[in-house]
Amino acid sequence: MSSTGRPGAGVPQRPPHVLMAGIAGFAEATLLFLVALVSFTFSAESGLLALFGVLYLALTATCLWGAVSVLRGRDRRPLVAASAVTGVVALVGLVVGFLQGQGVSLLPALLLLLAVGAVVLLLQAPSREWFAAHRDG
């Protein structure tokens, strides 16, 4: 940005794909953090829940790191990787819940939607081109 606050002539403007992917990353991190808190709250009943809590906390940190990295224009790979792992975990949660007769749960479905959305947005041509130009410039 120039001193007037307007984008410079040689700096390409961030596409909305990148902004929406960053927002999806922050939303994923928020939901994952809430799941981690619930897992830690009930971990006294089952030690396995503490392990899931650590997994969700690690995914939270990676999604936050990836979202910040994307919005700063540094790298898209951390958010793509974190969203891919989150999507797989959410899909497993959906399948397990469905097989147990609970139907479709809202939280795993929302996490899957956000994760797939972030990955798809970051793999679109405008996002790839912007990161390539931002890296070269």
pLDDT in tens, 67-96: 999 999 889 999 999 999 999 999 998 998
Judge whether residue 4 has pLDDT over 70: no
User: Under the phi-then-psi rule, with left for phi > 0, alpha for psi from -120 to 50, and beta for the rest, what region is 8?
Assistant: beta
Give yes or no for a contact between 64 and 26, defined as CB atoms under 8 angstroms apart.
yes
pLDDT band at 9 (very low <50, low <70, confident <90, very high): low
Q: Is the pTM of this model over 0.85?
A: no
Longest Cα separation, the chain:
59
Q: What is the pLDDT of residue 117?
A: 96
Q: What residues contact residue 67 under an 8 Å CB cut-off, 6+ apart?
A: 21, 22, 23, 24, 25, 26, 29, 79
Judge whether residue 2 has pLDDT over 60: no
